[in-house]
Amino acid sequence: MQRAPRVNISTWSAIGWSGLALAACATSEVSAPAVAPSVAATPAAAPAAAPPPPAGSLERLVAIGDLHADLPQALAVLRLAGLVDDAGRWSGGTATLVQTGDTTDRGPDSKEVLELLERLTGEAAAAGGRVVVLLGNHEVMNLMGDWRYVSEGDLADFGGEAQRREAFAEGGALGKYLRGLGIVAVVDGTAFVHGGITPQYAALGEAGLNGLVPAVLGGSAPPDALGDDSPIWFRGYLQGEDPAICADLTKALRSLKARRMVVGHTTQRTGKVATRCGGALLGIDTGISSHYGGHLAAVELKKGDAWAIYPTGAEDLQDP
């Protein structure tokens, strides 16, 4: 996947972060977080460590990663997880499904995959369940007019470039749907995101993070707010060295009041779910779409106990 222009967030000033927080939170119902105060001359005593969040209470929470405009594979992984029937209708009852973004590009079925997830959102709610769909870098690229990875088959499926552009526009059916989605969801003690949330971004809080895309699209935040280190692009937790990344992950999770982070974006060429930092990080982009090998996999959390679901059976995963 093409990388966004680099923005080194560690060098941002407090004023820059304050402005970003204000721009992001202006689109949410939650006030912007306060700017960190200056360091006092006499250091204060370290606060007591906060107790970890509960391990989880939901009977069934399922997460699936990147689908990349491949409707047959999307339906196959949903059936594998027991969430849809043979007709593609919701059969998961009261289960919660989180899809971590990158539903578009590479394949020919962006429209059908998005329409499927939108329909399942309503069907799940009617059955007492829940579907949470998140934005990845590819949805945001489409909304910003970056179509480098749109396939010829996808263009043809819409009837041409003009029709596809109309569908993704602010007033188009898919454009309105995508603009209503967030980039982060903290569900039952687990933080779900496409790429990863660094400590600096985690300080914005869930509401502030979910205001970033509207702020950038609306022009009140710079495009660099969604650069390499942003939640839709960051790969460091799966590509960095353990001691450093696990320390950062712990800080981010503490800010988000979560025990675990589940990410997509960085394809696991083994076709298996990746675990790092004692199970506090799960990487679930296993290459589900045919473009990446068609490796079906989902993650299931049963009251916080993580399992990987494969066509060959379920495997217990390490828990934090």
The model's confidence at residue 174, banded by pLDDT at 50, 70 and 90, is very high
- The predicted model scores a pTM of 0.87
Predicted local distance difference test score (pLDDT) of residue 17: 53
Predicted local distance difference test score (pLDDT) of residue 220: 96
State the Cα–Cα distance between residues 96 and 192, nearest whole angstrom.
Answer: 13
Per-residue pLDDT tens over the stretch 204-226: 999 999 999 999 999 999 999 99
The answer on pLDDT for 140 being more than 70 is yes
Predicted local distance difference test score (pLDDT) of residue 65: 98
Predicted local distance difference test score (pLDDT) of residue 16: 56
CATH for 58-316 is 3.60.21.10
Per-residue pLDDT tens over the stretch 27-69: 554 333 333 323 233 333 333 444 556 668 899 999 999 999 9
Predicted local distance difference test score (pLDDT) of residue 30: 34
State the Cα–Cα distance between residues 208 and 118, nearest whole angstrom.
Answer: 24
Predicted local distance difference test score (pLDDT) of residue 164: 98
Predicted local distance difference test score (pLDDT) of residue 37: 28
Question: Where do the domains of the chain lie?
Answer: 58-316
Predicted local distance difference test score (pLDDT) of residue 84: 98
Q: How many CA atoms lie within 13 A of 296 on its CB side?
A: 19
Per-residue pLDDT tens over the stretch 74-111: 999 999 999 999 999 999 999 999 999 999 999 999 99
Predicted local distance difference test score (pLDDT) of residue 20: 64
The model's confidence at residue 199, banded by pLDDT at 50, 70 and 90, is very high
Average pLDDT, the chain: 88
Tell me what percent of the residues of the chain surpass a pLDDT of 90. 81
The model's confidence at residue 194, banded by pLDDT at 50, 70 and 90, is very high
- Which of 7-11, 122-126, 169-173, 288-292 comes out lowest in average pLDDT? 7-11
Whether residue 213 contacts residue 177, with contact meaning beta carbons closer than 8 Å, is answered with no
CA angle 169/175/178 to nearest 5° reads 150
The answer on pLDDT for 270 being more than 50 is yes
Supply the DSSP symbol for 90: B
Which phi and psi angles does 79 have, rounded to 5°? -70, -40
CA dist list (Å): 252 to 97, 144, 154, 180, 288: 23, 28, 37, 25, 28
The answer on pLDDT for 8 being more than 80 is no
The mean pLDDT value for 263-271 works out to 97
Beta strands in 157-277 (DSSP E): 184-187, 190-193, 260-263, 274-276
CA dist list (Å): 168 to 53, 116, 177, 265: 38, 16, 9, 22
Residue 305: which region, alpha, beta or left (left: phi > 0; alpha: psi -120 to 50)? beta
The model's confidence at residue 244, banded by pLDDT at 50, 70 and 90, is confident
The answer on pLDDT for 25 being more than 80 is no
State the Cα–Cα distance between residues 7 and 190, nearest whole angstrom.
Answer: 27
